[in-house]
Amino acid sequence: MPSITETMRSVVPESAGKRDLRAEKASAPAPDAKAPEASTNEAQVDQVELSESVVRAIEDAKFDAAKVEALRLAIMEGNYPLDAKRIAENMLDLERMINS
């Protein structure tokens, strides 16, 4: 069975002249955007305020680097057990939740 990478390479050919469309989009002005006023030389900075519950969730979040590394290695070596039936059931549950 071919790997995902091999499958993608056979389906999606790599282009010789790759471009970063995100950079082009960010640098190109929008068609209907107006030029900034000459008197405004400072860049505008957007700010976001997080709710108290979000701040607490971020502070309480735990990251187990050893567990992540063990999972990464197991996946790379092909030793990570996958239960196809459980995955399918979870996908059906998600689909039901979306459609309801």
**pLDDT tens digit sequence for 6-53:** 655 555 444 444 455 555 555 555 555 555 555 556 788 899 898 999
What is the pLDDT, as a whole number, of residue 5?
A: 60
What whole-number distance in Å separates Cα of residue 24 and Cα of residue 14? 19
What whole-number distance in Å separates Cα of residue 91 and Cα of residue 96? 9
What whole-number distance in Å separates Cα of residue 1 and Cα of residue 92? 25
**pLDDT tens digit sequence for 70-99:** 999 999 999 998 899 999 999 999 999 999
SS3 48: coil
- CA-based Rg of the chain, rounded to a whole angstrom? 23
User: Cα–Cα distances in Å, from 74 out to 81, 85, 86?
Assistant: 9, 20, 19
Q: What is the pTM of this model?
A: 0.32
Q: Residue 63: is its pLDDT beyond 50?
A: yes
